[in-house]
Structure 1
Amino acid sequence: MKQYKFSMEKVLNLRQSQEDDAKKDYLEKKLLQLHEEEKLEKMVKASQDLKETTHSFGTVNELRQQYLYKNYLDEQIKFQESEVALAERNTHFELSVFVEKQKKRKMMERLKEKKYESFKEEERKEEQKELDEMGILRFKSKTI
């Protein structure tokens, strides 16, 4: 009995490697997105904390500094929101690339499975043919 060898094994290995690379890229982008979201949350919390402390009146200079800091935080929050949106788009793109690579690999694996089933069927037919020939030869030798 011969051993099965998939003729497109190298292609399957290449697709597996491409899928692994795409998964790695996706996970990196997802981590970056989470980092950007965390930075945004910290800025929003700082802005909320500043609103709570603004109620305690101090000197005019302190109020002015708080006002300037509040404006600065608002600008940074808007900028960070755009960074989060960009990171989300990049993550979504990498996810779509990963899913596409995964589909291609699975398609090759299904092809490999079909070819293996076909190989097993051919082997079974060949074995059955040999058994039939042996039976015929045995029958002929008994009748002689």
Structure 2
Amino acid sequence: MQQYRFSMEKVLDWRADQEDAAQLVVKEKEDQLLFEQKKLERIISESRRLKSENLFHNSVDHLKRHSLYKDLLDEKIIKQRLNVQKAEKDLIQAKSDLQLAHRDKKVMQKLEEKEQFRFNEVIKKKEQSQLDEISTLNYGRPSIF
């Protein structure tokens, strides 16, 4: 009997590779988002610690530096929030790409299933045709047994 081979096996393999690559990208984007969120939390915690410091017994120069550092941290917080938003958008896009790659792979798998079903049906028809021919040829002959 003839061995079944999917006619678009290379395309299916390529789509599976694309899906695997998209999964890796999603994982990288999730890690990047987590990193950016932790960085934001560290900056916010430093800002809170700085704002809660006791500044009553310090010099004017120290108060100026303290104020400048607080302003710098506030700017860093704003920039980091933008970085977190960008990382979230990148993650959403990567997940969308993964869904598309998964859908494309599923389409190819369904096509393979249909093609294999048709192949099996053709094989069954050929076998049945051969059996019918054998039974027709043997019908008129006298039986040896």
TM-score, reference length from structure 2: 0.87
SS in 1 for 2:7: coil
Deviations 1:24-51 (A, max 9, x none): 2222122111111110011111122223
Aligned partner letter, 2:105: R
Shift of 1:6: 0.8
Please identify, of 17-26 and 75-84, the stretch whose mean Cα deviation from structure 2 is larger.
17-26
Give 1:1-144 correspondences, 5 Å limit. 1-54=1-54, 57-61=56-60, 62-142=62-142
Contact conserved, 1:57 with 1:63, CA < 8 A, in 2? no
Aligned partner letter, 2:133: E
Aligned length: 142
Aligned partner letter, 1:79: K
Q: How many angstroms apart in 1 are the aligned matches of 2:138 and 2:12?
A: 46
Deviations 1:63-119 (A, max 9, x none): 333322221111100010001111111111121112111111110011001100111
Shift of 1:59: 1.3
Q: CA RMSD in A?
A: 1.7
Q: How many angstroms apart in 1 are the aligned matches of 2:36 and 2:12?
A: 36
Q: How many angstroms apart in 1 are the aligned matches of 2:6 and 2:43?
A: 56
Structure 1 gaps, min length 5: none
Q: How many angstroms apart in 1 are the aligned matches of 2:39 and 2:57?
A: 29
Runs of 4 or more above 6 Å deviation: none
Structure having the higher helix fraction is 1
TM-score, reference length from structure 1: 0.88
Please identify, of 83-92 and 19-28, the stretch whose mean Cα deviation from structure 2 is larger.
19-28
Structure 2 gaps, min length 5: none
Please identify, of 72-81 and 121-130, the stretch whose mean Cα deviation from structure 2 is larger.
121-130
